[in-house]
Structure 1
Amino acid sequence: MTLSCIAVDDEPLALGLVCAFIEKTPFLQLAGRYSSAVEALEGLLSGPPVNVVFLDIQMPDLTGLELARVLERSNRGAHTTRIVFTTAFDQFALDGFRVDALDYLLKPFNYEEFLRAASKARQYFDLVQRTEPVPAAQVLAAPNEIADDHLFLKVEYQLVRIAYNDILYIEGLKDYVKVYRQSEPDKPLLSLTSLKGLEEKLPANQFMRVHRSFIISLQRISAFTRNSVQIGSVVIPVSDQYKDVFGQFIARWL
C-alpha cells in the first residue's frame, strides 16, 4: 500500500531533506510540508487523512511532542495517523515512545536510516489492514471461521501478535507491563501500557488478576495456596484484594 505522508520541521534544510527522502521512496506519497506544528495541525484536522507524520520535536509555538499528544487524543490519530520523530536531541526518545511514535530518527540521518523507519510504518499499516474487524455480515455468515485466540501488543515500535495460550503471566511495572510467555520464558515482552488496560482485553475465562502487579493464565497454574500461585518455578502472591475471587475459582478444583 502507498502511505500518505507529511513532513514538519522549522529548519528549511532539514524539511527539504525529509521531503526529498519521501519523494524518493516508492511506497510513500508526499501530501504536504509544513514549517510549523501549528500549520501542520490545521492541515491534519481539515484535510484528508494522513498515514505518517515525519515530525521535528524542537519547534516554536507548538512542539512536535505537543502535536503528537493532540493527535493521540483525536479520533484521527487513533489508527490512521502515526508519528516518526526527527530530532537532533536523543533525550526525547522516551517521550517519543510514550506518545506511541512508530520510530525516532536522530539527526543527522541518511536515507538508509529513513528507509528503515518508513518500512516500519509500512509494516504497521499492512498489519492493521490485515487485522481490521471483520464485517458483521461475514461474522453471521461464518462464525466458526472467526478465531479469537490472540491479542496484538505494542512492543517498542511494532505490533506483536501474542497467542493467549502462550502467555504464562503478566507483570505490571508502573507505566509498563511485562508479558512472560511459554515459548520464550526468559525473554518477556515489555510494552508501554497499563495492567488494567491489558486486563480488559484478555478473556476472563482464561486470565485472572491476583495482585495489583500480576495477571495469571489460569491454564498455566501448576500449584497454589490461598495466598500464592505457582506457574512453573515462579511463585506469584495473591493479595487480599483478590483472595475472594481467586478462592471461588480454586474451590471448583477441590
Structure 2
Amino acid sequence: MKLNCIAVDDEPLALSLVSSFVEQTPFLNLSGKFGNAVDALDAIHSLEVHLVFLDIQMPDLNGMELARVLSQSNSTFHTKIVFTTAYNQFAVEGYKVDALGYLLKPFGYEEFLATAMKAKNYFELIQDNQSAPEPEVKDNFLFVKSDYKLVRIDFDTILYIESLKDYVKIHLAAPASPVVSLSSLKAIEEKLPASKFLRIHRSFVVNISKVDSISKNAVHISAMDISVGELYRDAFKELLSRWN
C-alpha cells in the first residue's frame, strides 16, 4: 500500500529535505507540505493522511500540541505522527501521544527510510486486520500437539497464549497447567474466534473474557500483566471501546 504523508516544519530547508525524502520513497505519497501546524491540521481533517512528519518547535500551535489534538480525536482514520526535531527532550512526550517515530535532526535518508518502513509495516497490519474476514469457527475447542499427543483445549479455559520462539505456551485457568506446543502463535491464532481473542503484542494473544482489568497500554489477566505492543495499540483501543 502507498501511504499519504504531509510534512510540517517552519524551517524551509528542513521542510524541503523531508519532502524530498518522502518523494523518493516508493511507498510514500506527498499529499502536502506546511510551514505551520494550523494549516496541517486543516489538511488532516480534509484528507486521508496516514503519516505526518512533524516538527515540534513552531509558533502558534506547536507540533506536540497538534499531536495531542490528533491523539484525542475520535476519527476512525488512523493518522500517525513521526516527530522531526533537533530536541531529544521531547521523546517521553512523544510516547505519550502515541508517536510512531522520532527522528532527531540532523538525520539522513537511511534513518528516514527505517522509520518509514516501520510506518509501512504498521499500516499493513491495520489493513490486514480490517480486511481479513473472521474464519468460521464451528467448535468451541481446538487440538494442539503436546508431548507427542493431541491435547484438546476448550476456548473458555484459555487465559492467554504466549509465543516462545518456536513454541507457544497456552496458559489455562486454574487448576489446569499450561500446555506447550511446537507451533507458531499465528497458526494458533488462526484457529481461534476473533470475537473472543485479541492479539495485543507480537508474543501474546489474550482471551477477552478473561481480562481482569486494563491500564494504560497493558492488560491484566490472573497474575500476569501483558504490555500492549506498539503495532497493536489500535486493536487495544478497540478493546477499550467495547468496555466504555
Q: TM-score surpassing 0.5?
A: yes
1:112 is matched with 110
The offset of 1:199, in angstroms, is 8.5
Query: What is the CA distance between 1:22 and its match in structure 2?
Result: 0.1
* Alpha-carbon distance, 1:80 to partner: 2.5
Q: 1:69: how far off?
A: 1.3
- Does the C-alpha gap of structure 1 residues 111 and 170 become closer, same or farther in structure 2, counting only changes over 3 Å? farther
Specify the alignment match of 2:6 in structure 1.
6
Letter in 2 for 1:53: V
Question: Aligned with 2:64: secondary structure?
Answer: helix
Q: Distance in 2 between matches of 1:117 and 1:85?
A: 10
Alpha-carbon distance change, 152 to 88 in structure 1, aligned in 2, over 3 angstroms: farther
Determine the structure 2 residue equivalent to 1:40: 40
> Partner of 1:238 in structure 2?
none
Larger C-alpha radius of gyration, 1 or 2?
1
Cα separation, 1, equivalents of 2:111 and 2:212: 34
Question: Residue 93 of structure 1 aligns with which residue?
Answer: 91
Structure 1 unpaired stretches of 5+: 154-158, 204-254
Which residue of structure 2 aligns with residue 50 of structure 1? Answer: 49
Instruction: Give the structure 1 partner of residue 158 of structure 2.
Output: none
1:178 Cα deviation (Å)? 7.7
1:87-146: per-residue Cα shift (whole Å, max 9, x none)?
A: 111110011111011011111111000001100000000000111166xxx66x945476
2:5 partner amino acid: C
The answer to whether the 8 Å contact 1:150/1:162 transfers is: no
Partner amino acid, structure 1, of 2:65: E
Say if 2:21 is the partner of 1:21.
yes
Corresponding pairs, count: 184
Q: Partner of 1:58: helix, strand, or coil? A: coil
- Tell me the equivalent position of 2:204: 162
How far 1:202 sits from its partner (Å)? 10
Aligned-partner Cα distance in 2 for 1:61–1:201:
33
Alignment match, 2:61: 62
Partner in structure 1 of residue 128 of structure 2 = 130
The aligned runs of 1:220-239 (5 Å cut-off) are: none
Q: Confirm or deny: 8 A CA contact 2:202 2:229 kept in the other structure.
A: no
Distance of 1:92 and 1:124 partners within structure 2: 22
Aligned to 2:161: none
Which residue matches 1:74? 73
Deviation of 1:176 (Å): 5.4
1:219 maps to none
Residues 199 and 143 of structure 1, relative CA distance in 2, 3 Å threshold: closer
SS of the residue aligned with 2:106? coil
Which residue number in structure 2 is paired with residue 235 of structure 1?
Answer: none
Q: Describe the shift of the 1:171–1:146 C-alpha distance in structure 2 as closer, same or farther (beyond 3 A).
A: closer
Whole-angstrom CA distance in 2 between matches of 1:198 and 1:125:
16
Q: Which stretches in structure 2 are left out of the alignment for 5+ residues?
A: 139-190
Q: Partners in 1 of 2:21 and 2:238 — Cα distance?
A: 37
Give TM-score scaled by structure 1 length: 0.60
Which structure 2 residues correspond to residues 162-181 of structure 1 after superposition, within 5 A? 162-164=204-206, 175=216, 177=218
Taking the aligned partners of 1:170 and 1:106, their CA distance within structure 2 comes to 39
Q: Percent same amino acid among aligned pairs?
A: 46
Alignment partner of 2:93: what SS?
helix
